[in-house]
Structure formats: structure tokens, C-alpha cells
Amino acid sequence: MNFAPIPTVAASDVPADGFLLDVREPDEWAAGHAEGALHIPIGEVVARAGEVSEQAGDARVHVVCRVGGRSAQVTQFLVAQGVDAVNVDGGMLDWAAAGRPLVSDRGEPFVL
């Protein structure tokens, strides 16, 4: 069993053009999310892992949830699959606190 530390990055350090995978539930996503993020709820990640690899290509995958717990699990799974993935430490709460933009389901600016 591998107990290597899960790679993490601060929300403020995610590149503006970075590939972001949001693993929150649909209601959390609808409440506000990063524009351009790929939304795959945590319960669907295993079945849709190929979609992540296909859309990310060679880009690093920045995985985010509300505070960082679920995204840490997904990051661990993706790394085990050979994907260059990092957990966004502090999740969407830190994303919003860092002043990173959020949008609603209609693409309008949103404040968490």
C-alpha cells in the first residue's frame, strides 16, 4: 500500500488557464463554480476517469471540492492511474477567499 503524501496546491496558485476538475455534488456546483471547470461528482469519477484524461490531455489536473477532503481522495485515485493530479488545498472555500472568480449555472459572476 502506498502512503505517499497527496500532492497539493493552494487555490491562489492554480494557473488561470489550469485544468480544474470539480468533484462536488450537483447542488454545490449549481451554487457557484469556477468557469471552465469540468464537473464530475465524486461518485462518478471512477466510471468517468477516461473523460478526465481525455479532456486534460497532458495538462496537470487540479482537483477541487468544497474544503479539500473529497478532492484529496480523487487526487489519490487519479495519481494511482498515472494522471498528473494535485489537490486544491482548502477547496472552493479557499478559492473564493483568494478572490478567484466564480460563476453561476447561467455563467453569471457569483459570490460564494
* Residues with a known catalytic role: 65
Cα(53)–Cα(66) distance, integer angstroms: 22
Question: Pairing state of beta strands 109-110 and 102-103?
Answer: antiparallel
Cα(4)–Cα(88) distance, integer angstroms: 17
